[in-house]
Chains A and B, each alone.
Chain A
Amino acid sequence: MNPNPQPPQWASRLLVAVCPPDLTEELLGDLYEQFMEEIAKNGEAKARRKYIIEVLKFVRPYFLTRKAETPAKTYVLNPYPSPFFLHPGMLRNYLTIAFRNLWKSKGYTTVNVTGLSVAFCICVFLFLVSYLQLTFDSFHEDRDRIFKTYFVSNNPDGTERQGAMSLPVGPALEADYPEIEGFARVMSGRKSTVEVNGKYFDKLVVMTDPDFFDIFSFKLLQGNKVNVLNNLGNIVISRNMAEAIFGSEDPMGKSLAVGSGSNRKDYVVTGVSEDVPSNSSIQYDALIRIENGDNYASDKNNWAANSHALFIKLPANVEHAAFEMRLKAFSKKYFAGTIKELREKGAKPDQFGDIFAVRLQNLGKVHFDREISGGKGAPIALIYTLLAIAFFILLIACINFINLSIARSFTRAREVGVRKSLGALKKQLFVQIWGETTMICLVGFLGGALLTWASLSAFNATFGSNLTFEYMLKPGFVMLILGVFAVVTFIAGGYPAWQMAKFNAVEVLKGKVSMKKPGILRNSLIVTQFSISTLLVCCTIIAVQQVDHMQSVPLGFQKEQVISIPVGNQLNGRQILARMRNTLASDPAIISITGTGVNLGKGKDRVSSRSIAGFKYKGKDVATDWLLIDFDYLKTLNIKVKAGRDFDSSFAADSTNRVIISESMAKMIGEKNPVGMLLGDDADTSGTKSQIIGVIPDFHLYSLADDRMPLTMHISGSESIYYILVRVAPHNLEGSLEKLKSVWTQVAPQTEFMGTFLDENLAGWYENERRLSQICSLASGIAIFLSCLGLFAIALMVIEQRTKEIGIRKVMGASIPGIIFVLSRDFVKLVGVALLIAIPLAWFGMQQWLANYPERIQLSIWVFAGVAAAAVLITFITVGFHTVKAALVNPVRSLRSE
């Protein structure tokens, strides 16, 4: 049996609803008593039934009508009826009071508005950056049905995923799986030369298939998407390109030439597309058919030459996973050789039973997958980091807001008390106080928007982003911001308002509330705030140290005074190199010239490539970077030969089958004295093995974030040279760059000169890290600033409340330093707790982050000690400023009142 039976709740509620309020108590009492008696007599079930029946009987005209007539007659404390709490008159009153209050405490208002504006501004930036990243490719209508294909090969030493496809894959897929709605091979490559009427332009001409506009939602301004790329001689250009080349003329039907030398071909404009949004993984200035590619004829049936991305569109009713399973047959049919080879090497099938498979990746994921997109994507962790930082900063600003409102509520308690005793309802007070904070929020947000607008270009310049105000007006983003605003006002405004509305009028008027201790809440908020900001500061310092470290590690070559010039695909690099050597042979400012297949760092062409060779050497598996160079490479980069000799143009064989290897390569092949040995695959008996002629110390051909690989360098008469490196004399570096530029216009008049100094290029390696650390610096600076702002204002209020105590202490003989110590102690304690929380977190987190880098700094205890000392010092300064002021006041003055 129920030990504590209660009458049915809903019935009681019904009674309350029906009954005049002044009678409810006694009626409920009677009913309850009867209910209890009934339980004793007839049991609970019957009692409940009776209770309900009794209540229902109360629903009678007498009570219903009496309710409407009598409340004012019987129990009225206030002879004037309360207006609706949103009555216009009351609203005007609230506004007046709010303005008066805000004006009276200008310091508080300024702190709040500044804090919110700054926080909001930085949040908009961070949100916007993340928003653009997170909505990458989302403008395609059928994005759920568009997939990028990739290969998975489960090699003996791990799984490898690759997004580059070979030319026959797309057509074969369509032939074997007729339900596929279309496929588009997308071959991006480098910028190409476009010529119209003797004028040259560098444009990103992307090669693709006719289905391109069927699959993707890129908008065509002119031309019909069904047949726009039907002919091999068609070209679709972007609006931007059309304007740049044809101005206001109609580009349709005009012809232009793409490429140079033997690759040059004429095209007819059959369509103009809207410019590609910056949040698209596929970027182009112009589109032509993939059949126009250099190697199309030779590679169209070559299943091993991987060169482009392939996108397919599945019908709406075809399940992604199911289709992937059906692709097993495809892999078995066309990649039997690869599978066999892998199996012989000892590859194990994965959980789907595949050794080598073709899989599908949804378009929405393409941007975030660095492995499949060949290192182009944005790491999603970075985006979440930015979002987290934005959230933290907003949190800090909210904490300021809450803390200040609560601190101030004690000084405003009397107003609340008086209002209450005059008959203000709780909800009226709540709305009034909340309204005030919402007003501050609104001003803060408007200020933030203004600040954002003002600093947009500076932000773009610093962080290399291209945000525009336009993005901020997109509905999704506006919703996000409104949501943030609502949450901020709700939390930061609502909580203190609720606290104040709860004040007991009698206590307040007696003056008791203002004596309350600053609660646990305030302290924990301050601790949270400082934990977050110290965490950000620690992480920033370590990240900056790491980036500096990576830039200062000796790379093994001399990066100063070297200019790197990308040649591009269209020109014959070997010819250009020869011409430049001729032209500059006698120039004293030029020390040496060489060519190579791989750029060091990232130049203006933004291209980085890598070629790796793997083979069996005396039974050992060897993998090495396979680097094409030219004579004078070592001289240009100032690399000394350790054993053997450099390439020499006087030996004919040097440019065919001789190699120079790095020390770690020598170690990998296990030769103590490798000079003179023959390098090549064990299976190769045709006598074309390369002879090792020299050994050089290891140097960093790639970013320190990548692992260093053993290196093999060779010279070839036939392979393309993509970069020309020039070492210039140390004096007048800029002049040398200018000279190279003018020489370039002679030797390669068709293309733009994109030469840059190697040190700039190398900095490009760490662009991601640098940008992240810059954003972190900005964020942590703002976090610390906001936290101090909050502390500053709270200290001000605390000291105002303790003026009298300070006076008494002085009268009793306390020294000024003593008083400062006593007052700062509480705050320093809080900051100390914050440090205890933040430092281990920072330590652990950064240890994880650093583990990503092969060349990394050791975490130094001094960073943390320094941050801790700085935090305590800042607290002392922030709090001390007011304390000193208060402590210097003549106690007679502070004690005179009362």
Chain B
Amino acid sequence: MERSYLGEFEELVLLATAVLEDGAYGLTIVSELKQRTNRSISLSGVHVALYRLEEKGLLSSELGGATASRGGRRKRMFRVTASGQQTLDNIRQVRNELYDAIPGISLSPR
């Protein structure tokens, strides 16, 4: 399978979506990321990332129910697809391998 390349922010958004499981939509993702990264996150940035990820097939979405707190508008719920999960796994694996390959500072004796 051809690898998808993700930007750092996209990766964060994808991760956050995975973390939030059933409750992932624009606003929850924003607050999740804010809380975890202490960065200022804009709604528009998150949305752009979400749509890009969807176009790459890493996320799927469907329109959820309307609530009064949204002025009667529906929300788009995002979910990580199988290939999204795969990508996350791949990234993690690559990172882990790389991390493990860092010489010298390991506490374990050679």
Knowing A26-B63, A30-B26, A30-B27 are in contact, say whether A57-B74 is a contact too (CB < 8 A).
no
Knowing A57-B42, A57-B43 are in contact, say whether A30-B25 is a contact too (CB < 8 A).
yes
Within 45-103 of B, Cβ neighbours of A (below 8 Å) are at: 45, 47-48, 51, 63, 66, 69-71, 73-76
A30 touches B75 (CB 8 A): yes
A32 touches B73 (CB 8 A): yes
A31 touches B43 (CB 8 A): yes
B43 touches A32 (CB 8 A): no
Which residue in chain A gives the minimum CB-CB distance to B46?
Answer: A30
A36 touches B74 (CB 8 A): no
Q: Which of the residues A25, A31, A60 comes within 8 Å of B74, measured between beta carbons?
A: A25
Most interface-central of A27, A30, A31, A54 (chain B CB within 10 A)? A30
A62 touches B48 (CB 8 A): yes
The answer to whether A58 has its CB under 8 Å from any CB of chain B is yes
List of B residues within 8 angstroms of A63 by Cβ: 48
Most interface-central of A28, A33, A57 (chain B CB within 10 A)? A33
Residue count of chain B within 8 Å CB distance of chain A? 20
Q: How near does chain B come to A58, taking the closest CB pair, in angstroms? A: 4
Residue count of chain A within 8 Å CB distance of chain B? 19
Knowing A54-B42, A57-B45, A60-B48 are in contact, say whether A26-B74 is a contact too (CB < 8 A).
yes
List of B residues within 8 angstroms of A27 by Cβ: 26, 43, 47
The answer to whether A34 has its CB under 8 Å from any CB of chain B is yes
List of A residues within 8 angstroms of B37 by Cβ: none
List of B residues within 8 angstroms of A247 by Cβ: none
List of B residues within 8 angstroms of A54 by Cβ: 42-44
Q: Mark A1-42, 1 if CB is under 8 A from B, else 0.
A: 000000000000000000000010111111111101000000
List of A residues within 8 angstroms of B66 by Cβ: 29
Most interface-central of A23, A26, A63, A66 (chain B CB within 10 A)? A26
Instruction: Determine the distance from Cα of A456 to Cα of B51 in the docked complex, in whole angstroms.
Output: 73
List of B residues within 8 angstroms of A36 by Cβ: 69
Q: How near does chain A come to B10, taking the closest CB pair, in angstroms? A: 13
B44 touches A60 (CB 8 A): yes
Q: How near does chain A come to B55, taking the closest CB pair, in angstroms? A: 10
A25 touches B73 (CB 8 A): yes
Instruction: Determine the distance from Cα of A27 to Cα of B63 in the docked complex, in whole angstroms.
Output: 12
Which residue in chain B gives the minimum CB-CB distance to A66?
Answer: B51
Which residue in chain B gives the minimum CB-CB distance to A28?
Answer: B73
A33 touches B69 (CB 8 A): yes
Q: How near does chain B come to A263, taking the closest CB pair, in angstroms? A: 94
List of B residues within 8 angstroms of A60 by Cβ: 44, 48
Instruction: Determine the distance from Cα of A36 to Cα of B72 in the docked complex, in whole angstroms.
Output: 13
Instruction: Determine the distance from Cα of A28 to Cα of B73 in the docked complex, in whole angstroms.
Output: 8
List of A residues within 8 angstroms of B70 by Cβ: 29-30, 32-33
Instruction: Determine the distance from Cα of A811 to Cα of B31 in the docked complex, in whole angstroms.
Output: 75
Q: Which of the residues A29, A34, A62, A66 comes within 8 Å of B73, measured between beta carbons?
A: A29
Q: Mark B4-45, 1 if CB is under 8 A from A, else 0.
A: 000000000000000000000111001000000000001111
Instruction: Determine the distance from Cα of A34 to Cα of B48 in the docked complex, in whole angstroms.
Output: 17
List of A residues within 8 angstroms of B63 by Cβ: 25-26
Q: Which of the residues A29, A57, A58, A66 comes within 8 Å of B75, measured between beta carbons?
A: A29
A32 touches B75 (CB 8 A): no
Which residue in chain B gives the minimum CB-CB distance to A15?
Answer: B44
List of A residues within 8 angstroms of B76 by Cβ: 26
Which residue in chain A gives the minimum CB-CB distance to B76?
Answer: A26
Instruction: Determine the distance from Cα of A54 to Cα of B26 in the docked complex, in whole angstroms.
Output: 13
Which residue in chain B gives the minimum CB-CB distance to A27?
Answer: B47
List of A residues within 8 angstroms of B44 by Cβ: 54, 57-58, 60
Q: Mark A42-86, 1 if CB is under 8 A from B, else 0.
A: 000000000000100110101100100000000000000000000
Which residue in chain B gives the minimum CB-CB distance to A29?
Answer: B73
List of A residues within 8 angstroms of B43 by Cβ: 27, 30-31, 34, 54, 57-58
Instruction: Determine the distance from Cα of A25 to Cα of B43 in the docked complex, in whole angstroms.
Output: 14
Q: How near does chain A come to B54, taking the closest CB pair, in angstroms? A: 11
List of B residues within 8 angstroms of A57 by Cβ: 42-45
Apart from A26-B25, A30-B70, A32-B69, 19 more pairs, CB < 8 Å: A23-B47, A25-B74, A26-B26, A26-B73, A26-B74, A26-B76, A27-B26, A27-B43, A29-B74, A30-B26, A30-B43, A30-B47, A32-B71, A32-B73, A33-B27, A34-B27, A34-B43, A36-B69, A58-B44
User: Which 7 A-B residue pairs are closest in the complex by CB-CB distance?
Assistant: A29-B73, A29-B70, A57-B44, A30-B26, A26-B76, A32-B71, A58-B44
| 6 residue pairs A–B, Cβ–Cβ below 8 Å | A26-B74, A29-B71, A32-B69, A32-B71, A33-B27, A60-B48
Interface residues of B (CB under 8 A from A): 25-27, 30, 42-45, 47-48, 51, 63, 66, 69-71, 73-76
